[in-house]
Amino acid sequence: MSVLVYTESLKGKFKKNAFEVASYAHKVAQDLGTTVTAVSFNAEDDASLGTYGVSKVLKVSDDSLTTFNAKAYADVLAQAAKAEDTKVIVLSSSADSKFLAPILSAKLSAGYVPNVVAAPESTSPFVVKRTAFSNKGFALTEITSDIKVIGVSSNAFGVVESNVSASVENFGPSLADDAFSVKSVEVDRVVGKATIADADIVVSGGRGLKGPENWGMVEELADVLGAATACSKPVSDMGWRPHSEHVGQTGKPVASNLYIAIGISGAIQHLAGINASKVKVVINNDPEAPFFKAADYGIVGDAFEVVPELIEKLKEFKAQNA
Amino acid sequence: MKILVCISNVPDTTSKINFTEGDTKFDTNGVQFVINPNDEFGLTRAMWFKEKQGATVHVVNVGGPQTEPTIRKALAIGADEAIRVNAEPIDGFFVAQQLAEVVKNGAYDLIIAGRESIDYNGGMVPGMLATLLDMNFVNTCISLDVEGDTATAIREIDGGKEKISTSLPLVIGGQKGLVEESDLRIPNMRGIMMARKKALNVVEPVDATQATQDKKFEKPAAKGPVKLVDAGNVGELVDLLHNEAKVI
């Protein structure tokens, strides 16, 4: 009856979202009077999950599962759910989790609710709060099925330490050949740079920057802050920046601690996409830009003067606080 | 190749969102409905398969009669036939079961859906549909090519891309990248006239399970006014972000 959690890792190291989902699962387990069981794939430091409330780790060590494979991973999690007689499964809102969760849910005839932003409102009936209408609203959604799958939004519930002692058990799932009918050929991942999905800070540029040649200062600002870079829809449509940087309603959602918008006017679709960010800063020369109504802090001024100055001030700040 | 494109009927991206009936329903008053953007990228890619590889393209929507203008738009863009499953799309699992029945009856090779609809953002229908039918599935798909029974796809991952090889029958959850924004088609008069003559078959839903139910909606809390920092005093912003907002 334990709460099952899928703890993501990359090259053996748990991702930050693994600790977030474990923390969330621990809260649900407390509400239900049970414990948390994690499933890890080729991870190194399984016992560390205890810090975030995991009592038992089902450790999968399998070379065929080195690269994420949604169908095969869903198969493993479904087997773990059966072995544990699980009624609640918790995972993240990463691209991998959002790929896997519907497969897992359909296998288990489970109701799936993604983009969950808070601990369950109640567990009987089982009601969770999630974003809807692309962050223009929230829904309180009841999951009526026997098994429930919850996708937790990144940076919403947060990481909570509970210091449980975690036992580690090897778990050997049986996988049919057809579990690998969708094959990964090549993974092209940017290394050593923050991504929009998991960055604490995102620096974003819009049409006000006039052209792709002016992105140097955006990248430099991002470097100083250890931030990911992003852009508005027109910028990606014009090919100034890759689609993968487009944030907004039809692009990626941003749920960072700090979002800095440079030369972005703040169309309703853009503001929806970044609404989940905690603190928003806008730099724009037009004081009437709608973004000023959505931002916490703003500077009315020429980005080409303000941003280099901001970079200098941040460097000084970092030197003082190093 | 026989392609089914699944389309959702969603509020236009510029819509202001309001709720009604004690915040239990989305208020459709004054809202313009469109083809879900993620689905439209997929539909446009399907047109490419039709024109270059001779594919047949059907579109399907699960919804009431009010969604027919959106379905007609998909026909005007160039889909050959349309199916409307006459039921309110009460949750993703329910919709996936309805679509599974349509796919079984139509013997489709490729099912193109959007990564998520921009209204309820469930992002679950394509993956559930593939699993119910034991078909292959690729999510957040930004490129798709098909040769014979072999499909090569690229999916977006956090911080990069992954190239994937698989085979038909296949379901994809697509998004921008399948085609560019500039490739999207505005129906012309000829397309609109032809769409009127194309088949729009209405089928009744099959018995299906609902697994989730939205009980109540809320709008985000109102925000306080912006705190403006003078452009000549950028250092103050650094100070505020550190000492007040505590984000750096």
Cα distance between residue A81 and residue A25, in whole Å? 14
Every domain of chain A and the residues it spans: 3-180, 201-321
If contacts are CB pairs under 8 Å, which of residues 169-228 in chain B contact chain A? 175-177, 180-182, 209-220, 223-224, 226-228
Q: Which DSSP category does B54 fall into?
A: -
pLDDT in tens, chain A (322 residues): 899 999 999 999 999 999 999 999 999 999 999 999 999 999 999 999 999 999 999 999 999 999 999 999 999 999 999 999 999 999 999 999 999 999 999 999 999 999 999 999 999 999 999 999 999 999 999 999 999 999 999 999 999 999 899 999 999 999 998 999 999 999 999 887 889 988 999 999 999 999 999 999 999 999 999 999 999 999 999 999 999 999 998 899 999 999 999 999 999 999 999 999 999 999 999 999 999 999 999 999 999 999 999 999 999 999 998 7
Query: Any idea what the Cα angle at residue B26 is, between residues B25 and B30, rounded to 5°?
Result: 135
Cα distance between residue A13 and residue A49, in whole Å? 11
Q: Which CATH architecture has domain A3-180?
A: 3-Layer(aba) Sandwich (3.40)
Enter the CATH code of domain A201-321. Answer: 3.40.50.1220
pLDDT of residue A177: 87
For A116, name the nearest residue in chain B, comparing CA atoms only. Answer: B122
- Mean pLDDT (whole number) for B83-111: 98
pLDDT in tens, B39-94: 999 999 999 999 999 999 999 999 999 999 999 999 999 999 999 999 999 999 99
- Closest partner CB to B177 (pick from A189, A243, A298): A243
- Closest partner CB to A190 (pick from B132, B160, B217): B160
Q: How many whole angstroms from its chain centre is CA B241?
A: 38
Burial class (CB in 10 A: 0-12, 13-18, 19+), B152: middle
pLDDT of residue A223: 96
pLDDT of residue A198: 86
B39 to chain A nearest CA, in Å?
11
B186 contact partners, CB below 8 Å, separation of at least 6? none
A291 to chain B nearest CA, in Å?
9
Residue with tokens 């389309």: B7
Measured distance between the N- and C-terminal CA atoms of chain A, rounded to whole angstroms: 47
Residues of B in contact with A244 (CB under 8 A): 156, 160-161
Cα distance between residue A129 and residue A127, in whole Å? 7
pLDDT of residue B223: 86
If contacts are CB pairs under 8 Å, which of residues 125-144 in chain A contact chain B? 127, 131-144
Domain A3-180 and domain A201-321, same fold? Reply is: yes
Could you tell me whether strands B200-203 and A258-262 are parallel, antiparallel, or unpaired per DSSP bridges?
unpaired
Could you tell me whether strands A126-132 and B227-229 are parallel, antiparallel, or unpaired per DSSP bridges?
unpaired
- Mean pLDDT (whole number) for B154-177: 97
Residue with tokens 């100070």: B239
CB A83 within 8 A of CB A4: no
pLDDT, chain B, mean: 97
Name the helix (H) or strand (E) containing B30.
none
pLDDT of B100 higher than 80: yes
Residues of A in contact with B171 (CB under 8 A): none
pLDDT of residue A163: 86
% of chain B exceeding 90 in pLDDT: 98
Residue B21's SS3 state is coil
If contacts are CB pairs under 8 Å, which of residues 48-77 in chain B contact chain A? none
B173 to chain A nearest CA, in Å?
9
pLDDT of residue A224: 97
B187 contact partners, CB below 8 Å, separation of at least 6? B73, B76, B77, B195
CB contact under 8 Å between B220 and A140, yes or no, is: no
pLDDT of residue B98: 98
If contacts are CB pairs under 8 Å, which of residues 77-136 in chain B contact chain A? 91-93, 96, 118-128, 130-132, 136
CB contact under 8 Å between B13 and A107, yes or no, is: no
Q: Sketch out chain B's domains with CATH numbers.
A: 2-215 (3.40.50.620)
pLDDT of residue A193: 83
CB contact under 8 Å between B245 and A279, yes or no, is: yes
Q: How many whole angstroms from its chain centre is CA A155?
A: 7
pLDDT of residue A297: 98
Cα distance between residue B183 and residue A6, in whole Å? 38
Burial class (CB in 10 A: 0-12, 13-18, 19+), B187: middle
